[in-house]
A and B are shown apart, each in its own frame.
Chain A
């Protein structure tokens, strides 16, 4: 069965610390896509990244980086030098039959 697990319910860090959000997925599909979304306190859901199962290269975008490892079925998200504005709930999601299977989210609190 398709499943996304975000074991970290809540993480608290102090500004400028690096933080990694874990995402582990289960799927029987050989071709699939993984996504990360951010939900800030204002409530909207913001798309961050999409990665397909054939591309295991890490991706970096500014302070954000993503590590996709098929061998461990993980798609982890690292924020370098965290800032207060990074405080949000972050969701990992897996594509399946045209829809997304979301994890339960990780709440990140960055304190000044």
Chain B
């Protein structure tokens, strides 16, 4: 079975550029989560969706960050404009209903120069 698929695996870009991270959840999972991991702040939940609808975006750092889920098999996390402090590993995870475990993608390592 295919797991959660994230792209790209690595992204290096200059400050001020737009960055788009992509995620394909496990088929049949109706919850999708975006996390950010840094040494300083650990694992932070940014936003999560249920049936393509954003449920909790309280972790989104600021207006430069936006996330969409246009259909059940695709989500994007966009940063515009990017800043060096956005450098982190971004994980996408999905799960089924009833407190099933979240399954994580391999992450996108983002470096903003």
Contacts and interface: CB of A to CB of B under 8 A. Distances in A.
Interface of A: 33, 35, 37, 43-47, 50, 52, 91, 95, 97-100, 102, 104-105
A105 B42 contact: yes
B17 interface: no
16 contacts: A33-B99, A35-B101, A43-B106, A43-B109, A44-B105, A44-B107, A45-B91, A45-B104, A45-B107, A95-B99, A98-B56, A99-B48, A100-B45, A100-B102, A104-B42, A105-B43
B48 A47 contact: no
Contacts of B48: 98-99
A99 B45 contact: yes
B45 to A, nearest CB: 6
Interface string B50-82: 100001100000000000000000000000000
Nearest to B100: A50
Nearest to A33: B99
Given A47-B101, A91-B43, A98 B107 contact: no
